[in-house]
Structure 1
Amino acid sequence: MKPKLKLTYESELKIAFLLLLLFLVLINFGTLYLLKVTKASLSKEFDQKLTTVGNSVKTLFKELQPADETALRKALIELTFKSEVEQIDVLDFGLQYLNPRILFSTDLNDPAVIKKISEQISPSDWERLRKGTPVYSKLIKEKLVPGQNQETYYKYYFYPFNINNQNHFVIAALKNRAGNLAALEKLSKLEFFFGGLGIFLALIATFWIISATLKPYREIKHKASEAQLILGESSANEIDSVVKTFQKTIDELKHKEEILRELYQSTSEKAQNLSRLNDYILDSMSSGVIICDREGKISRLNQAAEEILDLKSASSINSHYKKILGQENPLAHLIDKTLAEEKVVKNLDLEVGRPNGEKVYLSASSSLIKDDQGQLVGEGLLFSDISDIKKLQEEINFKEKMAALGEMSAGLAHQLRNSMGSIIGFTNLLKKVLKDDSGNSEIIQHIVTESLVMEQLLAKFLNFTKPLDLALEMVNLKEIINESFHQTSEYTKRKDIFLATPAPEEANFVMADKLLVKQCFQNLFQNAFEAMPNGGKLQVSIDEEKDFLKVEVSDQGVGIPSEILDKIFNPFFTTKETGTGLGLSLVKKIVNLHQGKIKAQSQTGHGTKFIIHWPKEPGTQPAAVDSKEKVYYLNA
């Protein structure tokens, strides 16, 4: 038994493509053969038709005498229409073939018929015609209408015969359209040209495809052989070895891909956990953090920064810090300076405005963010809200100022009071001595009166500067407010100001010194009365806020200019001609003594509002106080 022919993968591939090329060649030659057969069949049918018409012309000339020209013409014209021949011409060339004449022509309007027919007959065709053999002309291209571009193809059939055994050489020239034959002939030429060109291109493409197809296979095979993954290149199962090697490589890649995917997932989870941890750390910080890239776009904004600056993280991320903070914001200036000079700033105190108009005090520090190469990639801003510390510092400064003022002025006021006592005593003595002198008595009485006013003012001042002790008890704040308003109305003798207070079902109780609380509200009402010279409404509201009662006292007065609003609680600060500047200072002192807070809001021409946060239970232990202590109405 003969062994099987063993072919390599490359040989099989080459044979396959060559067979495909051979198949294309066979198709091309088959097409050419079909065109040739079709053309031969159509040409044969065409020739048979013209031969039949030629025999019919010969028969008509034999049956009808040439003298009967009318009957002959009529018969030939009918034959032309019936046979669908384009034109029939019968020419008599005589014995010497000289001076031919037209015996019949369907186109009498063409004087060049004889010339056209003679041009289509070659010398060899003349010889055949003289021997009585019909001749077919080649395809002739003529214009359908003279002067136009539309053309078609014709073919002549020359049929020789004699008339009634006369020695006249007569030719019947039959002209008919041969457009189909011309089309087939042209198609055959095109098919031959493009078929040959196609075979040539297919041959080139076959070699190129074989080369392109085998190139990666050869490279894979070569690399596998170098890696000693294939044993024996001439093996009968060469392609199987390559496929198995390739499959093995794919399996290894899939395994490694799975390992990489697990590593990526693990790394991604760690990165996400680290990112979340960073977010948790930033959001748990009480200090605000803003991180910007080098172009100034905010990449991180923690929760504390949102709360301190009253911003929204969603709209701030990827936005420029100047757009979010504002062009004139001190924080924006700090970021500008850090990015421009690449210098850090530490513990810089700033006053920053919020979108709602409030101001906060911040302690801000900036830092530079750099990459491994030391290139600047961004900037970090850390800031803390020190508004409470600032206020506490102001209160401490106020208390220190008050303490120093009290120590200094107490002795001075005591000495002045002693001197005023001496002046009053000597003035009264002088009044008794000069009691008969009415002119001097009036002057002395003015001295006594002014001295008493001065002594009362010194008494008020001493009352302000001396330390106050709290006699804490549960008091109804609303009741004290009503009493303070009525006493102030009676003291000022004003009936054109009305008090508007809420009417809660339950009383608002606080642990406080009743006498000092009443003095606090009397001083506030005294200021409100003086701010409303034409009368008006005094609005008081009380709201509970956790451990505090929020009391708001609003008047309809002339208001306080913004430039002096921060100074109204300073001792001896007043804008009135007869004021001492101690009324609001005493109010603040009483509120602070109860561990409360007070602030003022005002706008010129729109009245003033005092907001007091009064603690329900101050942390200060109750202490004894003289219940007979006087309450003074101090002009602010």
Structure 2
Amino acid sequence: IQNERLRLLGQVASGIAHDFNNILTPILGFSNMLLSTPAILDNKHEAISMIRDIAGAAQDAKKIVQRITLLSSKVSNEHHIPINIVKVINQSIEATKPRWHNELLANGTTVNILFDKKEEVVIKGDESELRQLFINLIFNSLDAMPEGGQIRINITEEKEKIVVDIADTGKGMDEETLKRCMEPFFSTKKPSSGLGLSIVQNILYNHKGSIVIQSKPNVGTLIRLSFPKLIEPPNGINYETKKTNEYASGLRILVIDDEMRVRIVLEKFLSSDNHNATFAATGEEGIQKFKNGKFDLVITDQAMPHMNGIEVAKVLHDIDPHVPIILLTGFGEMIIERSAIPSCTSKILPKPVTREELRNAIYELTSSKI
């Protein structure tokens, strides 16, 4: 079992650069455009669209890190929810735009991506994984069209499945390459991890889907993805993640974290909701401030020098067991999966935490006090 785990870990490690380079494309591309072309900020709609794509890519990076930390834990699709696959494809097209539009256009090359599906098509799945899947496939098609071309995406609904066709006019694959293209570490691109289509296949497996590839040299490639159809969802269901409009404000909150950048972000989050936040850079400093003050809530990092978050939480809990404590940690998903939440903490939030996640946690733990 240990050898198999190490083998899988090696495969994941080899694929990190591949996936993160894909994810960094919209982050670096759009942030560079916003910094180098301030006039874009005059167009509020365009600027917000770019910022949303940057945030979406960062969220995908967070999900990849979570999957790495959960490598030794049970993997399941029990948390899959209804997803509008049309929206995911449009997000993937937009996320890859800095490469297929800006970068190639600068080199005198034109690539057109055609996808005009308007209505919702709903399947059950993980939005981040599906974005990763389509971004991988779009980049594969772009790699096959160094001189430009066309990518056409089409969705058809059959009786029991949803079919997504992705066709490009690239250089195609010969018979031998076509036979081996799904193998991990096989690639005709240099340098490459060779994990693009292997990752796609793994994501499809997790969604109970399938893939068929047709390709001819100098003609192009057609990739056909099939997903189980979500049977007759009731009308009026909102398939987006539910967000609460309720949140706490005006609380006295102690924040303990040794990373200054994290403290700055948390200060912005908390001050925007009118909380009175006190900050400490070490566990020892946090304990002293807790003893000298009165707080409604404590937020502490786990990985700190000299004294970690759980050790701090135990001391604070002994001083006043009625003050809820939120533990921030990069290993949050693993701790939750293994049901290893220490009794001295009220809630664990995996890093990086979003404003919405923090808001919801604070409201959940303090709503009775409001």
Q: Give the TM-score of the pair, scaled to structure 2.
A: 0.43
Instruction: Choose between structure 1 and 2: higher helix proportion.
Output: 1
Of structures 1 and 2, the larger Rg is shown by: 1
Larger relative contact order (C-alpha < 8 A, sep ≥ 6)?
Answer: 2
